[in-house]
Every structure is written in C-alpha cells, then in structure tokens.
C-alpha cells in the first residue's frame, strides 16, 4: 500500500512542471480575461459590462448568427462525415487514394480555402455562376456574397466543404474499432444492412460522433478566418459571427473590457451548450 502511494506521489511530482506550464498558458489568460470583464478604465465596475451586452443589438445579432451557423453547418458535417466514413471503410480498389483525396480540404489552410471560395462565388467571373448559367438554373449572374441569405449559404457551404473531412477521420477511426465478429453474428441471425447499421454501427459509433460533435461545435462557434476572408461579416452584418465582433471591439474600438465581457459570456453560453449535448448523448447511451 505504501509503495503504491509513493509511486503515485512520484507520478504527481513528475507532472507538476507540465501542470504549471499548462496553467501559465491556458489558465492565466482565462483568469485575466475574467478580471478585465469586471473593470473599466482601471476601476472595478461590477456587472456593468455584462448588463450592457443585453442592450447591445449588434451583440444579440452576432450571437444569433453564430448559433444559426453552428446549428446548420455542424449537423451537415456530421451527416456527410458519417456517410463518407461508411464508404471509405469499405474495401475497394484505390481506397487509400480516395481517403487521401477526401482529406485534402481539411489539410488546406483556411485562409487559402476562403480566397478560393471567394473567387468561385464572384458574381462577375465566378465559376459557380457560370455552371448554373450553363445548366439554365439561373437567368443572370447572382451576387452570392452581396445578398444576406445567399452570403450565409456561401459561408456554410465553404465551412462544410472544409471541415467534413475532419468529422470523417474521427468517425472512420471509430468504425475501425468495431469488431467484425459482431457483424458476422448479426448477419447469421438474418439482419439486413440497415439493421446492422442501426443495431451495431450507430450505437458503437456514439462516442466517436460525440467527440466529433463537440470539437466541431467548438470550432464552428469560434469561426473567424473563413468568414473574415469571404464576407467580412457582411452584407450588413448578416454573416458576422461573435468572434468577428470581439475582434472589432478590441482592435478597432479599443474597448478591451467590453470585449472581455463578451468572451466570458460566450464561454459560459457555449459551455452550457456543450454540457447539454454531452448529457443528452450520455442519457441515450445509458438507455441503450
């Protein structure tokens, strides 16, 4: 017993340097931001900055934009990622090449990808308008990035194209951990493809799907660079996410304390969102 206790203490001693480095890099900025959110021009103002958030129409608008962006893009990525993972998990000629090609969008720098999509959606020389005109789906070129609804569609499409391979990788890794004996056993019982997917694949993929859902939700909630390059938050703020508003508040308006309060509120809001997702998945897993 004493030997195990001494080994535990020695193990804790070994990880102390990593803990202090992690605290310095991650914990200190969080605490510093929290302190700044309660300050204004060097003096303590309590919850004044937070109360101002609820009166800020632009903040409510960007929060809604970010939530809608997450609720549309993340489910699409999960559905497409699951579909591609199921296809790439099968054995066929050129599977290795197909996997490598399908992962390329995720490997590309986001800013480079966004510039390419901006060219694609250009209303004058963009290839997207050209294809639709040739297919006679539209009669004249559309300003995809100049209309609120169309611009929102563009940023969602670009994000889904970029990030679906990330979801595919996670789910594909989960598929490879499922024992083949389970499929063989249920196939002997006469189960068809849909039954095998519903009774074996989907339940055992829930942990991988949860990981992909949480990671992609975090990334989608903090989206910045792709929207910054594609639309800059326009037209008329219709595609502006909360990260872009925080960026403007800090570097354009120099309101550091107000920006810190937005970061704290967004952190709490998103933490509750992730907690709801986790509890929902956990409850369903237990029920299963």
Would you say residue 286 has pLDDT above 50?
A: no
pLDDT digits (tens, 9 = 90+) for 1-11: 455 557 777 77
Would you say residue 253 has pLDDT above 90?
A: no
pLDDT digits (tens, 9 = 90+) for 69-124: 998 999 999 999 999 998 888 888 888 888 888 888 888 888 888 999 999 998 88
Q: For position 160, what pLDDT does the model report?
A: 93
Q: For position 22, what pLDDT does the model report?
A: 80
Would you say residue 244 has pLDDT above 90?
A: yes
- Pairing relationship of beta strands 39-40 and 43-44 according to DSSP bridges: antiparallel
Mean pLDDT along residues 47-51: 86
Would you say residue 285 has pLDDT above 60?
A: no
Separation of alpha carbons 59 and 22, rounded Å:
31
Separation of alpha carbons 249 and 35, rounded Å:
17
* Mean pLDDT, all residues of the chain: 85
pLDDT band at 284 (very low <50, low <70, confident <90, very high): low
Q: Which of 133-137, 188-192, 217-221 has the lowest mean pLDDT?
A: 188-192
pLDDT digits (tens, 9 = 90+) for 157-207: 999 999 999 999 999 988 888 887 777 777 777 777 787 888 888 888 888
φ, ψ (nearest 5 deg) of residue 15: -90, -5
Please, what are the domains in the chain? 1-37 (no CATH), 52-287 (1.10.3720.10)
- Are residues 76 and 156 in contact, defined by beta-carbon separation less than 8 angstroms? yes
Would you say residue 39 has pLDDT above 60?
A: yes
pTM value?
Answer: 0.85
Q: Which of 24-33, 148-157, 246-255 has the lowest mean pLDDT?
A: 24-33
Question: Distance of CA 5 to CAs 2, 13, 15, 16, 17, Å?
Answer: 5, 12, 16, 17, 20
């Amino acid at each position: 017993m004493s030997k195990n206790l001494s080994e535990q203490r020695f193990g804790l001693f070994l990880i102390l340097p990593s803990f202090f480095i992690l605290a310095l890099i991650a914990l200190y900025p969080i605490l510093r931001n929290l302190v700044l959110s309660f300050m204004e021009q060097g003096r303590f103002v309590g919850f004044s900055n937070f109360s101002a958030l609820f009166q800020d129409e632009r903040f409510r608008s960007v929060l809604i934009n970010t939530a809608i962006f997450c609720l549309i893009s993340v489910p699409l990525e999960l559905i497409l990622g699951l579909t591609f993972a199921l296809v790439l998990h099968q054995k066929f000629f050129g599977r290795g090449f197909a996997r490598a090609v399908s992962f390329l969008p995720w490997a590309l720098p986001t800013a480079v990808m966004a510039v390419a999509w901006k060219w694609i959606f250009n209303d004058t020389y963009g290839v997207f308008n050209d294809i639709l005109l040739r297919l006679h789906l539209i009669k004249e070129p559309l300003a995809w990035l100049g209309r609120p609804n169309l611009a929102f569609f563009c940023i969602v499409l670009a994000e889904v194209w970029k990030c679906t391979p990330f979801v595919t990788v996670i789910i594909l890794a989960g598929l490879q951990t499922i024992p083949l004996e389970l499929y063989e056993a249920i196939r002997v019982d006469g189960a068809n493809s849909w039954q095998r997917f519903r009774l074996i694949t989907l339940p055992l993929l829930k942990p991988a799907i949860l990981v992909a859902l949480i990671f992609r939700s975090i990334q989608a909630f903090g989206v910045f660079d792709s929207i910054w390059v594609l639309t800059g938050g326009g037209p008329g703020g219709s595609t502006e996410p909360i990260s872009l508003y925080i960026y403007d508040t800090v570097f354009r308006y120099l309101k550091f304390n107000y920006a810190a309060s937005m970061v704290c509120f967004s952190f709490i809001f998103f933490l509750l969102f992730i907690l709801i997702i986790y509890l929902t998945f956990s409850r369903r897993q237990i029920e299963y």
